[in-house]
Amino acid sequence: MAWQLKFFFILIILRISYAFALPPDDAQHPVFHVLKGDCESSQIDFLDSVTVLCAKAKAGIQQNFNLSQPINNFWLRYSRAYLGFHYGTAISFHISRRLYVAQTMAGELKTVDENVDGDFMFVRLGNPLRHRWRLNFGKIRLPFGIDQSKLAEGIQIEKNHFFTSRAALGGYFSYEDNSANLIEFGLSAPSLARKNDPQISFLRPNKFKESSDIVFRAAHDISALNGSRFVFSVLYNDFLFRRYGIAYVVSGFDRDLFYFEFIRKTHQKINSRYDQIFKLNYISNWTNQSRWIFEFEEESKRDRSGFVEYDQMIFNNLIFKTAVGVKNGQSSSNKSVFYLVSGLEAHL
């Protein structure tokens, strides 16, 4: 971690030195901007001579009601911070950190699946609007499929995460033609295979070995509705598994977002064993200070879940979230388990 921080500070110092050295003509432009929230840049557009700090943060508290098994009810406190430091448009540094504290109603701490961890810290060379080729490296989540959910955190931490990527030391190249195509290729540094992967828990510890993830993701856009995108992904881990993903994202006329995704994971160590997931999501645009989220998932034709969430902005930057949902399948002994989640979330 230390070297990354050092690098970050060196960048800032370099940038400040550069600002002092600016010729008088450029002095009329502010050299350092802080953007927050969506980090939209209506005035800074395309200036190479600016340094921008994009800051996002949120914190919230939620209560999860398991209506079928009240003993599993819990409180969740969470926060997430993201900083993007853009040194001109050619180089940027991105860091994100999440914290979860879950507590049962009896006051006991509840373990949160470490795979929920969305932390990353990496450097990006190039900017999506200025450069076709980009390189991202650091502690980073390799690009695979959509790999995101906008549902309330209280629901997300209850899911299993066999199909999501964790951040690891590595990097990836991106090529984007600024008209319809995005191609990404990356790999993570070799590391000890995940011992806590329940799919391979039967292996003896000495059977684990160092392995890398190699990933390829390609997206192609077509002009349907407000724009639609096909996403194809392949992830190869020479020790554990391979993952194949196909997804389709549609941006609606009202900037609503609809996407579905199918991922299949085949296991190297277990012959003819595979898991798969099908996801269907709808996220409405914020209109009248509110939005809807719908998510359906079917996992390996065994477990299904469906959630509907309604978010209402109470004041600027304060959101009231309510979600209801149901899970059914082998993991719940084929009984339907109903959920109700509600909470407040504050944004920067």
Q: Which of residues 210-249 bind other proteins (CB under 8 A)?
A: 219, 221-231, 244, 248-249
25: contact with other proteins by CB under 8 A: no
CA-CA-CA-CA torsion sign (129, 133, 136, 142): positive
What string marks each residue from 96 to 115 as x (binds other proteins by CB under 8 A) or -? x-------------------
Decide: helix, strand or coil at residue 97: strand
CB within 8 Å of 56: residues ≥ 6 apart = 36, 37, 39, 80, 81, 82, 83, 347, 348
* Chosen residue from 46, 133, 209, 344 binding other proteins by CB under 8 A: 46
90: contact with other proteins by CB under 8 A: no
CA-CA-CA-CA torsion sign (168, 57, 61, 322): negative
CB of 206 to other proteins, least distance (A): 28
First to last CA, the chain: 25
152: contact with other proteins by CB under 8 A: no
Q: Which of 216, 160, 77 is nearest to 331 (CA)?
A: 160
344 vs 28: CA distance, rounded Å: 42
What string marks each residue from 251 to 270 as x (binds other proteins by CB under 8 A) or -? xxxx-xx----x-x-x----
CB of 291 to other proteins, least distance (A): 14
195 vs 209: CA distance, rounded Å: 10
272: contact with other proteins by CB under 8 A: yes
Residues at the contact surface with other proteins, assessed by CB under 8 A: 35, 38-42, 44-46, 52, 54, 56, 82, 84, 86, 89, 92, 94, 96, 120, 124, 127-129, 136, 141, 143, 145-148, 174, 178-180, 182, 219, 221-231, 244, 248-254, 256-257, 262, 264, 266, 272, 274, 278, 280, 296, 298, 301, 304, 306
